[in-house]
Chains A and B, each alone.
Chain A
Amino acid sequence: MNSKKIMLVPLDPVHDVGLKMIRRGLDEAGHETVLLPPDLPVEEIVQEIYNSDANTVLVSRTLGYGVAEILARLVDLLDAMGIRHRVKLGIGGMAIRPELAAELGFDAGFGPGTTVEEAVAFVEGREYKGASFRAGKTKHDITQGHSYAYRHDGIKEKLELIADMVLSWAEGKTSPGVKRAAIRDELWDVQRWRNYEQMTDFLQEYPAHCGELAQNFYKKGIFHPKTRRFTREEAAGLEEYVRRTREEMRVPKLQHSRTKPLVFNQYGTGCPFMDIAHIKVSEAWGVDGVVHFDPSWGARTEGLLDGFLTHQEDGTVITPANLNRIKLALEPSTLWQVRAHRGLNTPETVVLAGQIGADLTKINICYGSLGGGTDPARMTVDAVWAMRYAAKYGLPFDVVTNEELCGVPAYKAFAGMLITTAVGVRLGARPILQPLFCYSPEVMVGLQMQDNYIEFNAAKVMALGQIIDAPIWPGAPVGFLTQSEDRVQSSASTAFHASLAALLGVDGVTIASSDEAYSGGPISVPSKIDTLRAVGEGFRFFGKTSLAPTKDMEIWRDQIVTGIEEVLTKVAEKGDFVQALYDGVLGSREDGAYPGRNGKDTVFPL
């Protein structure tokens, strides 16, 4: 590449910082630069250009007042001196737009948000493709760097005992969900399905293990009342939309100088088309991963439906076709989580997610049993199999602790999360701890967050870090019960919680949209942009700053660790994990947790 000679011309009285930054970039790229003093008269500037051998002139003008007249005069004088053809002429500034620059006779115009790389590309005559955006974004393994080694001997001993207890209890037991998962795993093949081959064996076996809703679908072609199939025209329109969007797609990085936490948001508008639209927008605004949110009735239904279906309420139906469309629309860097955690289709959802190509799933025995509505025995046998499949398909899974929102104290929810984690590790899977960053009933009553939202949330992460070297992904979403319908408040709260996650060095974070607290209608796509922008600003603001532990953090951290060990001791003493769930050891009726009833009496000996 030839070295260029560039004259940098600040037209403002004092503002030349932009040009100084560009000068640094040009110097680093090996070009020769001359920076004129600010606020020279246009005639003097033209004379300087005339006297120099510059082949590029970059002018900056931040003030809007009189900009058109001054710039037009500059170009006219260059013409009059016979040197306009000799130099490539660029203009940048807050009031500059490419159209204005072209109108005034400049070769390029750079408005707000222009990067140094963009200006260097102009000087070098290269097309600017936003290389730094794409190069900075690759798919990350959120579990990377964690050994799952225990750091607390007492808790390790109890967790290993309880993991044995869970596995031996589940041994020799099955359920309709486990059977469907095995059928999906053995008789349904994603490549054959993608080639439109008939799945005769699968379809002969599968419906017999489904509930009424799915049986009606497979045997009689009856849909769930709130679903419909897409038309061919709609599907073609979607493909064209995704293709067009991809051409323009740039995927920025939100974390500024950090590499983590990875930022996830949830989608689940009910319609896979609208989901894809939300995902593409989220990707364009920097999201690292997206989480599939299925309808609440899906968790109570024995069996998954099929077909390309839209649903007119919250949550997008899990079908092979819906998941496949969503998968095909994702950018290569986007992590994709399909939640399996809380219902009667848990193991099969993991199998399907694995086959379609998801990156992550979600499984938790205790939340599924105590807050998710599934019978503890059923949830346990299904979750054990789900974790086996998660290991088989290489899907790390987060272990959510949403029972905290019911009123279960953090230490009890964490004890349950650690039991699922211990079982998962034993089965060769890669669990991810998911503490809530939330204004929970526990802290509303206990006043741990009376002053701030930082210390108790930090104590949770510190406690888990003292117990095991496992990935931590607060969610879901962070700031639960702190957000209001006010877009500014909601975005700010999300950004502060995500920034706290960054300061604590966790691996991932799930964020809400600014519509989180609005219940009158679907989440709008600008509300997703609100929080992605806010979180990006939070990360920019704090950079790599660290958070010093406070006395309260340490006190609450120790209380949580002690509480976890006490709960695990009670479970171990009971000698029966499933009975411990029914009996409220991991969250009681007084706490607000109720053992679920969906799938009751559906666990059978093999």
Chain B
Amino acid sequence: MPGILDLIMDAVDIETFVVCRSEEDGRKLVVQLIKDWGFTDVDIVFCQFQGPGARVRGRAYVHRSGDVYGWLKPRDKEA
């Protein structure tokens, strides 16, 4: 039976506001956060620094094109 991450079609995005000093700071913090959660294929899709911090959308790809997709694995009826 696939795990929950297997069922993510392609990517997990996290959208948040980070209190920080610059756009670069905001990017680094969110990349680090997502990596700390165990994701490896991480990028920042969008970052906008204004005033007290940065509005950031970070992304971790779970399945890229050409991968073997977890959501195609057989599932239990209850799943």
Contacts and interface: CB of A to CB of B under 8 A. Distances in A.
A487 B57 contact: yes
Interface string B7-20: 00111010100000
A485 interface: yes
B71 A241 contact: yes
A279 to B, nearest CB: 12
Given A237-B74, A277-B9, A281-B9, A521 B66 contact: no
Contacts of B44: 520
B55 to A, nearest CB: 8
A448 interface: no
A312 B66 contact: yes
B73 A237 contact: yes
Given A237-B73, A273-B72, A487-B46, A521 B9 contact: no
Contacts of A485: 45-46
B11 to A, nearest CB: 4
B16 to A, nearest CB: 13
Interface in B1-45: 9-11, 13, 15, 41, 43-45
A483 to B, nearest CB: 11
Interface string A273-305: 110010001000000000000000000000000
A146 B12 CA distance: 45
B72 A237 contact: yes
A277 B71 CA distance: 10
Nearest to B10: A524
A277 B46 CA distance: 24
A130 interface: no
A238 B48 CA distance: 39
A270 B66 contact: yes
Nearest to A226: B66
Given A311-B65, A312-B65, A485-B45, A521 B73 contact: no
Contacts of A581: none
Nearest to A523: B10
A518 B44 CA distance: 9
Interface string A257-275: 0000000000001110110
B64 A312 contact: yes
A524 B59 contact: yes
B13 A310 contact: no
A428 interface: no
A580 B72 CA distance: 52
A224 to B, nearest CB: 12
Interface in A481-515: 484-487, 515
A270 B65 CA distance: 6
A345 B9 CA distance: 32
B65 A274 contact: yes
A515 to B, nearest CB: 7
A570 interface: no
A317 to B, nearest CB: 11
A313 to B, nearest CB: 8
Interface in A286-341: 310-313
A522 B45 CA distance: 11
Contact of A310 (B10, B65, B73): B65
Contacts of B43: 520-521
A514 to B, nearest CB: 9
Nearest to B71: A241
A201 interface: no
A194 interface: no
B74 A522 contact: no
A314 to B, nearest CB: 8
Interface string A470-489: 00000000000000111100
Given A281-B9, A524-B11, A269 B72 contact: no
Contacts of B68: 234
A81 B74 CA distance: 51
A249 interface: no
B65 A269 contact: yes
A273 B63 CA distance: 12
A526 interface: yes
Contact of A526 (B13, B48, B63, B66): B13
A281 B61 CA distance: 18
A161 interface: no
A525 interface: yes
B66 A238 contact: no
Nearest to B61: A521
A524 B65 contact: no
B9 A525 contact: yes
A76 B43 CA distance: 54
A228 interface: yes
Interface of B: 9-11, 13, 15, 41, 43-46, 48, 57, 59, 61, 63-66, 68-69, 71-74
Given A238-B72, A240-B74, 10 more contacts: A237-B73, A270-B66, A310-B65, A311-B66, A486-B48, A487-B45, A487-B57, A518-B45, A521-B61, A522-B11
12 contacts: A228-B66, A234-B68, A237-B72, A240-B74, A241-B72, A271-B66, A312-B64, A518-B46, A521-B59, A522-B11, A524-B11, A526-B11
